[in-house]
Structure 1
Amino acid sequence: MVIMTESIPAIYEHGIFKPLQKVDLPEHKHVHLMVMPEDEIELLKAQKKALSAIIGAGSSGLTDVASKHDRYLY
């Protein structure tokens, strides 16, 4: 089973979500929407970028990170 997840920009008008681009779905297909205001998308992107920078920190080879925590961060 293939699960397709896609982010599609939309506008909410008169109680209806209207996609701003073509959606490749059959008519009457039921979907679940995750609503995220556009200004929060930029925050999410910034968070992902910051978290990506620390991925792999545990495999850095440093063994004294707890005792020198502040020195490594600041």
Structure 2
Amino acid sequence: MTRHLKAIYEDGVFRPLEPVEIAEHQEVSLLVETTDEAQPEADTDMPIWEYAAQLMRDIPEDQLQALPTDGASQHDHYLYGAPKHP
């Protein structure tokens, strides 16, 4: 089961901000995303393509492969649901 929970990190422990229905001592897997520094700092000397690669580095490869390859030419279809044009 996958759930999105907000928590506070205090004294080496993640403390949920809402009640959770998990058994005591049950092992879980955490994906930690901080709210204060979720995006990398832009280096003013960094080319835009390197910055884009830095933003995408944590996206799993299978999700990248599932992205459409015609996004630029069919943007109205993907953004607004318009029929694809030839």
Q: What TM-score, normalized by structure 2, do the two folds share?
A: 0.46
Larger radius of gyration: 1
- Which structure has more relative contact order (CA 8 Å, sep 6+)? It is 1
Structure 1 or 2: more helix by fraction: 1
Which of these residues, 47, 61, 68, is aligned with residue 84 of structure 2? Answer: 61
Measured on the aligned residues, the alpha-carbon RMSD in Å equals: 2.2
* Secondary structure at the counterpart of residue 18 of structure 2: coil
1:14 aligns with 2:11: yes
- Matched length: 46
Q: CA deviation at 1:14?
A: 1.1
1:33 aligns with 2:30: yes
* Secondary structure at the counterpart of residue 33 of structure 1: coil
Give the residue type in structure 2 aligned to 1:14.
Answer: D
Give the residue type in structure 2 aligned to 1:8.
Answer: L
Structure 1 CA distance for aligned equivalents of residues 76 and 9 of structure 2: 36
1:23 aligns with 2:20: yes
Unaligned runs of 5+ in 1: 41-53, 64-74
Unaligned runs of 5+ in 2: 39-74
Give aligned-pair identity as a percent: 37
Alignment CA distance shift 1:38-1:55 (3 Å): farther
Alignment CA distance shift 1:23-1:55 (3 Å): farther
